[in-house]
Amino acid sequence: LESDSLLGPFEPLTDGAVTPADWECLDGTLYVENDVPYIVFCHEWLQIGAGTVCAQELSKDLRNPVGEPWVLWSADTPSWRCDMNGKGAFVTDGPFLFRRNNTLCCIWSSFSKNEYVEAIAFSDNGSIFGKWIIGEKLLLDSNGGHGMLFDTFEGEQMFICHSPNKTPEEQAEIEANYIANEREYQHKKDLENNKFSSNIENKLNIINTKQNIKKIVIINKKRKKIISGTGLLFYQNSLEKDEKK
């Protein structure tokens, strides 16, 4: 969809899907590398059993696919995976790519121990075409996921997800500084020592603080107008704990 304003109205940009017509796909997110746009999306587990996260190059105007899609990783790969029905059903949801220095990362959701979780994957060469390694440490280990990252007007990084994972009780939850203290890593040394995934996790200092997630609203008193965000309304200054509703 496209619009001249965040407030809409939004109109179709394409004449149809940019993912394969015979695939069940969801949760597409835009990623741009070297001025080339890609859509990163999930190939639905309901169709293929072990869900996958895939990438598809797009034309510059985003209207058409270019070439064929390819698989970045499958949900049956990590050790913490969970077979949802005992017949090879592994979920992929909500990929969101971001870069920390030279490290290309993607947060995404699946299930572990029958709990909805937020996980992270890393490209081994900083490119969408690299080998993707799924972190063994979960960002959220229960009842929350489908996350994204954004920066506040003051430049503070925030993590947003929905929790609990139960309809109709889902609500947006956000937390400051969820992934912090990024540092570059030595690809060859980590690969040679077979410590690639754990070393990346240590150097990114992934913080698992589910118990400290805060439901907050940000207010912009200067503009005196609502600015919409992902599942929440954002203004400029944080409210006190007893004021947030």
User: What tens-digit pLDDT sequence spans the chain (245 residues)?
Assistant: 999 998 999 999 999 999 999 999 999 999 999 999 999 999 999 999 999 999 999 999 999 999 999 999 999 999 999 998 888 999 999 999 998 878 999 999 999 999 999 999 999 999 999 999 999 989 888 888 999 998 888 888 888 998 888 888 888 888 775 564 333 333 333 444 444 444 445 444 444 333 333 333 333 333 223 333 333 333 323 333 334 43
Provide the residue type at 11 as one letter.
E
Report d(CA 191, CA 214) in Å as an integer. 37
Distances (CA, A) of 147 to 7, 43, 83: 23, 18, 21
How many CB atoms lie under 10 A from the CB of residue 119?
26
Parallel, antiparallel or unpaired: strands 171-176 and 157-163 = antiparallel
Q: Taking the chain, what is the end-to-end CA distance rounded to the nearest angstrom?
A: 31
140 alpha carbon, distance to own chain's centre: 12
Cis peptide preceding 37, ω within 30 of 0? no
| pTM summary value | 0.75
How many CB atoms lie under 10 A from the CB of residue 187?
17
Per-residue tokens: 114? 């029958």
